Chains A and B, each alone.
Chain A
Amino acid sequence: MKRLWITLTYIVFTILLIIPLIRIFTGAWAEGWQGIAEALTRPQSLHALMMTGMIVVIVTVINTLFGVMLAIYLVRAPWLGPRVKQLLNSLVDLPFAVSPVIGGLMIVLLLGPNTVIGTFFEAAGFKVVYALPGMVLATLFVTFPLMVREVMPVLQEIGSQQEEAASTLGAYSWYTFWKVTWPSIRWGVIYGVVLTVARSMGEFGAVLVVSGNIMNKTQTATTLVYQDVENFNVLAANSVALVLAAISIALLLLMEWAKKRKGH
């Protein structure tokens, strides 16, 4: 009986995860190193990878800062009634429930060239939609819950006694945060960062809608993969996908490591 279950598990994993992963590697290698190198050194590939890198960095920084702040706020703020807190708490999960395409659509509707806010920014010489700021906003929307959800349970668990003790003893709030709160939430934050990086690197739907997918301008690595597939350039798609897959696996290993540390 035990044998049977273990074999079944192995079969599901092999079919669903391992074979596809191997297929990406062999697919990219179909024409050897040269094929990969050629596909990756195309100007649009380089540009797309750079765009993705920029989005990842900006989004991760903003999301980490605001995510931690919001988590502290939601757990500690005494002036919010439990009712309000509960409402906010369920609102945090909204981006999980919203399709990324819809997330992108919202930003286009709200900030697009035909809207009030959009024309205002446009007049100021600042393009939001079909440009980097819109893409960053879309990715922020999608990654929003990851950090908050990682930090909140830790904060709830440790309680506020130590912090109160620190401030009673005369520590400034900033000092209390660094010396008391930060050490305990550190691994949760790191785990949240890894999740955010993974998600912002892989975001596709929201970015595709907001960016307009203009080659060499707003194209990211994932939308480039999509376009290459649509143009039947499978080898190139494979090579870019290989880079993304390799990074994801590295992130996965990091995630495992952070999870172990978090458990201690």
Chain B
Amino acid sequence: MLYFVVLIVLPILGIYTQSLSGGWATFWASVSDPLAWKAVLLTVRLSVVATMINVLAGTMIGWVLIRYRFWGRSLLNSLVDLPFALPTAVGGLMILLLLGPNSLIGDLAGKLGFEIVFHEPAIVIAMVFVTFPFVIRAVQPLLEEMDPSEEEAAYTMGASKSKTFLQVILPTMLPGIISGGMLAFSRALAEFGAVVLVAGNIPGKTLIASVFIFGEVESDNPQGAASVSILLLTLSFLILWTVNIIQSRRAGK
């Protein structure tokens, strides 16, 4: 019990007091620094994009892996967890190698007039990679639990395929999609290892919040780092809390 308090609660209280130790004015000054502000906004914007991609792809993959039997299914199913098992720095390196300036795809994109690595698309790709398993793993158990007879009943009563999907299957998956998406979002907000390698970290352009915090720590400005940290922290807490509420509601039913 003591271990729990010391390891988890104390550090978090510490960071809140640290960032407010200079009073509101200093806190406000470091948060409203244009670079810090831009970094936070950029992080939120790109995380939203990455989450959207993941929600769509994850729902589809979760569905396919549960419902269809095909060659290589169990292999793909175990591969889903790869981004969890793989160190994030290795994930970032992969993306860098694959899409970087000296690679095939990187050259091609460069000729077409847009760049991937050290620009926003690379950050989104890194975020999608890292948060890939969340939605899939949240949707799968719900689909497994679902009674196929509900779906069959819908067909028997003459509902079309798309109507069955929208009115019978989607509502079952929805709690999973939402909580999986929320987790993916909070993870994308927090991601550091994969992003720092591919983002280029140009202040005001591709510098995301966690890299900004790291930079502030390196340049001996713990006050600024702590202020941006609690912005991110508060956001993540809100998300986590929402997920908890959704889950306990589902359990309560």
Contact = CB atoms under 8 A, between A and B. Distances in A.
Nearest to A242: B90
A229 B240 contact: no
A143 B78 CA distance: 21
Contacts, number: 223
Centre residue among B86, B91, B183, B222 by max chain A CB count within 10 A: B86
Interface residues of B, number: 73
B155 to A, nearest CB: 14
A188 to B, nearest CB: 16
Interface string A236-264: 01100100110011011101100000000
A96 interface: yes
B76 interface: yes
A90 B241 contact: yes
A83 B49 CA distance: 37
Centre residue among A9, A27, A100, A248 by max chain B CB count within 10 A: A9
Contacts of B26: none
Interface of A: 1-2, 5-6, 8-10, 12-13, 16-21, 23-24, 27, 66, 70, 73, 88, 90-110, 112, 137, 140-141, 144, 195, 198-199, 201-205, 208-209, 221-223, 225-226, 229, 234, 237-238, 241, 244-245, 248-249, 251-253, 255-256
A12 B15 contact: no
A20 B226 contact: no
Contacts of B60: 5, 8-9, 12
Contacts of B96: 229
B225 interface: yes
B26 to A, nearest CB: 15
A70 B79 contact: no
B97 A23 contact: yes
Contacts of B129: 16, 20
A18 to B, nearest CB: 8
Contacts of A21: 82, 94
